[in-house]
Amino acid sequence: ISSLSGAHRKHYHQEEEESESSVESEPDEAPAAELVATGAENGSPGPSSQPRVAGTTSAPPAAASTPARAPAKPAVFIPVDRTPEMQEERLKLPILAEEQVIMEAVAEHPIVIVCGETGSGKTTQVPQFLYEAGYSSDNSIIGITEPRRVAAVAMSQRVAKEMNLSQRVVSYQIRYEGNVTEETRIKFMTDGVLLKEIQKDFLLQRYRVVLIDEAHERSVYTDILIGLLSRIVSLRAKRHVPLKLLIMSATLRVEDFTHNQRLFPQPPPVIKVESRQFPVTVHFNKRTPLEDYSSECFRKVCKIHRMLPAGGILVFLTGQAEVHALCRRLRRAFPHPRRRPPEKEDQEDSVEEMRKFKKSRTRAKNAQAATLPQISLDNYSVLPAGEGDQDREAEMDEEEEAALGSDLDLDLGDDGADGGEQPDASLPLHVLPLYSLLAPEKQAQVFQPPPEGTRLCVVATNVAETSLTIPGIKYVVDCGKVKKRHYDRVTGVSSFRVSWVSQASADQRAGRAGRTEPGHCYRLYSSAVFGDFEQFPPPEITRRPVEDLILQMKALNIEKVINFPFPTPPSVEALIAAEELLVALGALEAPQKTKSMKQPQRSRLSCPITALGRTMATFPVAPRYAKMLALSRQHGCLPYTITIVAAMTVRELFEELDRPAASNEELTKLKDKRARVAQMKRIWAGQGASLKLGDIMVLLGAVGACEYSGCSPQFCEANGLRYKAMLEIRRLRGQLTTAVNTVCPEAGLFVDPKMQPPSESQVTYLRQIVVAGLGDHLARRVQSEDLLDDKWKNAYKTPLLDDPVFIHPSSVLFKELPEFVVYQEIVETTKMYMKGVSAVEVQWIPVLLPSYCQFDKPLEEPPPAYCPEKGRVICHRASVFYRVGWPLPAVQVD
Ligand code: CDP
Ligand code: MG
């Protein structure tokens, strides 16, 4: 079962992090009280036998022949007051041995690639080398980009701590949050943030050095940044204010950067950091891989914990829900005698909170089950059991997994060694989750040594693969899978799919076991399966639609995107699809029509950006949503559109209630809740105009009602809303409001969580705004005279898909069946279902979506327009056709 989401519900590039996670500003790291180290001590290597090369920070480098005339290396040396403990810890890192080599290369070359095993110290140490060498003197900044928000935050905290500096100096910036100040000298940020800065100042004049971290991940924004920076570096050199670019990568496929004439005509030097990697013994499963790899992980961890010597365990799973479920099972199997009471420990963990709340509710409910009123299910259709949406695993309610998995808890497998043995509960396991959306303070726990007498067990998604290095891991359990968004090339619709990792990723995972001593990696798949893995994961840019990216690039006045020096270019089809969508949205000027039927690709790929496109590019959401925001400065619609966009961007507002029930009791509970949710949806959708806004109105209503309740977990639970999603929406509303205020300060918007419902006329404007944004997701109900066979009954036709699509039963428009609708996404279960449906008035189509229409006469001036005096659309044509040739009814000729 896959979910197809054509409307990009979230900003693409972060698979599970971008739209959901966000981090509050951290208080400054207080300098350690027992600070004793002096600058002098830090300037020289100190007592350790580790060879810290003396020349690195004091002697002038052999940099006489730098390409630029300005001094390539600053003469100033900035002392750093590290604590002796910290200094000692640093000196153990392999990269310290390469400090001189790196700094000399940086002095001599504008671009340097540093590649080294994960954990060798690239992210935490190289910024410090540069700082000490004075690259942030004269008020300039050392910038480091990370593809993940968590890394940006965690690393800024770590480096501040290591350097004994406040977070006013070593800061982070992620989207609209951060703690950057005037004093900031080292700035960690997400790659998207730097891209936005380039839009404001193409030469990045505040920066003396930019480090692109985790370049091997090949995230789209990292790729683009490298392409852009290759140009910025040469521009800066021409102006004699050189900018240094460091590309840092794990030891994966560096050739994409070095052997790329267009990107770097002169290949930059590559400095390899020798890793102090201990041997890791890899154990493959003999059996064919099991479907239930979570349970297999559980068994393996139990076995390791019971039978193998001390050493941390790191488990790789695919998603947040699985991580939580396994953590719970492990905690139950090996309870922690000194665990704090659960209320405290899980204070910020809203999922846990919800779970407890549900439990207490269930208990209370069971107690009075006999007296509870039964709500009728008569007028609500549900999907047949089993039609869950796998996709939701990424975010789904963990309670469900726990419920389904709980009876397996003590099942340690039927193979000999495990059989029947109970885990030795006397040895506590210190179980910690780790995934991108985890609150940073919780994430930081994995870096702390586990309580004495316990064994550390971290259950992680692939964030632990390269971004974060956990100390003390000796055993790795690798399920071999990764959850990735998958895009359909033709339709542009997407789904999350669990698939095998690449060989490079599997080896990277295994490597995590050999950081401090020889280790073991248990792969839950056979060596034959491993042999079939792809060698490397394909770069993200080749796997997804690129319209957001193209818009950002056009905003940088890169018109001929096809000529851009991508490290790996996206396919021409992807570029064309992106450009066409952006033209349709009005973000790009339409290409000049040529006489020949087939336009040369190049002209189709060099459309300049419009004023609307520039505005859209400033919003941190996908272009369809950005269009909605850009259109909303009328009739007081902005606060509503912001809420709608926030709600559409956050995945799954509502709990998943269509899952199969494990017991009769659960089934009753589920039915009960489904009915309640259906009723609430009808209430939120309202009647008349507001019902026509459909599921979008439900989003507005749900957020509004939830905010009126003070956004309480109880309210969410009672109404089937995901508490976490509601919190995220609130946060996103804040961010988007900031974004709007930045673009247009006169709007003077502020977030009023308790907004009034929109007026009737505002609802109509909102419907039009939604149509304007989601125009390529228009669907028309198949008319009775066109009915080919029964499978098309109540079906809709979309331009992109040949098969019939239907309004999802959970939609408030399920029974309304408007002739024209737009949808947010298509979910495929037994049928193709449209979700997030809103009704469209036919006369809006030529006005709001002219680029999707074929007019029977060439467009005359003025184009069709809404005439307020007449109260209707004026369109001087007899008929219009939607792109695939659907005849639209004749539009009134005035
Ligand atoms: O970037 P790279 O993977 O090369 O290494 P790093 O992230 O700079 O990490 C260097 C070392 O710092 C690792 O051994 C981590 O375990 C340690 N570290 C830590 O102890 N606490 C943190 N919050 C971050 C890193
Ligand atoms: Mg790193």
Q: Which atom of ligand 1 is nearest to the CA of 158?
A: 23
pLDDT of residue 386: 23
Q: How far is the CA of 117 from the centre of ligand 1 (A)?
A: 11
pLDDT 10s digits, 649-696: 887 788 877 766 777 888 898 899 999 999 999 999 999 889 999 999
Ligand 1 atom 7: residue of nearest CA: 123
Q: What is the mean pLDDT of residues 309-331?
A: 91
> Which range is least confidently modeled, 148-157, 272-281, 483-492, 841-850?
483-492
Q: What does the block give as tokens for 768?
A: 């039009």
Mean pLDDT, range 2-26, rounded to an integer: 32
- In angstroms, the CA 120 to CA 93 distance is 6
Q: Which atom of ligand 1 is nearest to the CA of 468?
A: 7
Give the atom of ligand 1 at the shortest distance from the alpha carbon of 118: 3
Q: Determine the length of the chain.
A: 894
| pLDDT score of 63 more than 50 | no
Q: In this predicted structure, what is the pLDDT of residue 82? A: 94
Q: Whose CA is nearest to atom 6 of ligand 1?
A: 121
**More confident position, 732 or 441:** 732
Question: Which pLDDT score is estimated for 761?
Answer: 87
CA 118 / ligand 2 centre spacing (Å)? 6
Residues with CB under 6 A from ligand 1: 93, 116, 118-125, 154, 158, 447, 469, 471
Q: Residue of the nearest CA to atom 10 in ligand 1?
A: 121
- Calculate how far, in angstroms, residue 249's C-alpha sits from the geometric centre of ligand 2: 8
Given the CA of residue 273, which atom of ligand 1 is nearest to it? 4
Rounded to an integer, the average pLDDT of 471-493 is 80
From atom 19 of ligand 1, which residue's Cα is the shortest distance away?
447
Helix residue ranges per DSSP H, 346-416: 350-367, 398-405
Q: What confidence score (pLDDT) does residue 634 get?
A: 77
Reading phi first (left if > 0) and then psi (alpha if -120 to 50, else beta), residue 386 is in left
How far does residue 827's CA lie from ligand 2's centre (Å)?
37
Site to probe by mutation for ligand 1, drawn from 158, 249, 438 as the one with most ligand atoms within 8 Å of Cβ, is: 158
Q: What is the value of ipTM here, to two decimals?
A: 0.98
∠ CA 427-429-430 to the nearest 5 degrees? 140
Distance (angstroms) between ligand 2 centre and the Cα of 873 equals 57
Task: Give the pLDDT of residue 346.
Answer: 39
* Among candidate residues 311, 315, 316, 317, the one with its CA nearest the CA of residue 519: 311
The answer to whether residue 398 scores a pLDDT higher than 50 is no
With the most atoms of ligand 1 within 8 angstroms of its CB, the residue from 83, 90, 124 to mutate is: 124
How far apart, in whole angstroms, are the C-alpha atoms of residue 190 and residue 149?
Answer: 6
Instruction: Provide the total of helices (H) and of strands (E) in the chain, helices listed first.
Output: 30, 28
- Identify the band that residue 756 occupies on the pLDDT scale cut at 50, 70 and 90: confident
Mean pLDDT of 48-76: 41
Per-residue pLDDT for 347 more than 90? no
Q: Which ligand ends up closest to the CA of 160?
A: 1
DSSP string of 97-162, one letter each residue: GGHHHHHHHHHH-SEEEEEE-TTSSHHHHHHHHHHHTTTT-TT-EEEEEESSHHHHHHHHHHHHHH
pLDDT band at 426 (very low <50, low <70, confident <90, very high): low
The least confident of 200-209, 559-568, 777-786 is 777-786
Going by alpha carbons, the residue nearest to atom 24 of ligand 1 is: 158
- In this prediction, residue 894 carries a pLDDT of 36
- Ligand 2 mean position, distance from CA 633 (Å): 42
User: What pLDDT, on a 0 to 100 scale, did the predictor assign at position 353?
Assistant: 42
Task: Kindly tell me if the per-residue pLDDT of 320 is higher than 90.
Answer: no
pLDDT of residue 538: 86
User: Higher pLDDT residue, 869 or 204?
Assistant: 204
The closest-lying atom of ligand 1 relative to the alpha carbon of residue 470 is: 16
Cβ burial, residue 306 (10 Å; 0-12/13-18/19+): middle
Look at residue 319 in the predicted model and tell me its pLDDT: 85
Q: Tokens 């992807």 — which residue?
A: 574
Q: Ligand 1 pocket check: which of 163, 469, 470, 473 to mutate, most ligand atoms within 8 Å of Cβ?
A: 469
Question: 862 preceded by cis ω (within 30°)?
Answer: yes
Residue nearest to atom 20 of ligand 1 (CA): 447
CB 93 within 8 A of CB 515: no
Specify the pTM. Answer: 0.69
252 CA to middle of ligand 1, Å? Answer: 18
> What percent of the chain shows pLDDT beyond 90?
37
Strand pairing partners for 821? 779, 839
Q: Which of the 8 DSSP states describes residue 609?
A: B
Average pLDDT value over all residues in the chain: 76
- pLDDT tens per residue, range 503-531: 989 998 998 998 888 999 999 999 999 99
For residue 469, report the distance from its CA to the centre of ligand 1, in Å: 5
Give residue 32's pLDDT: 29
Torsion sign, CA atoms 189, 190, 191, 195: negative
Q: Write out the residues surrounding ion ligand 2, Cβ under 5 A.
A: 122-123
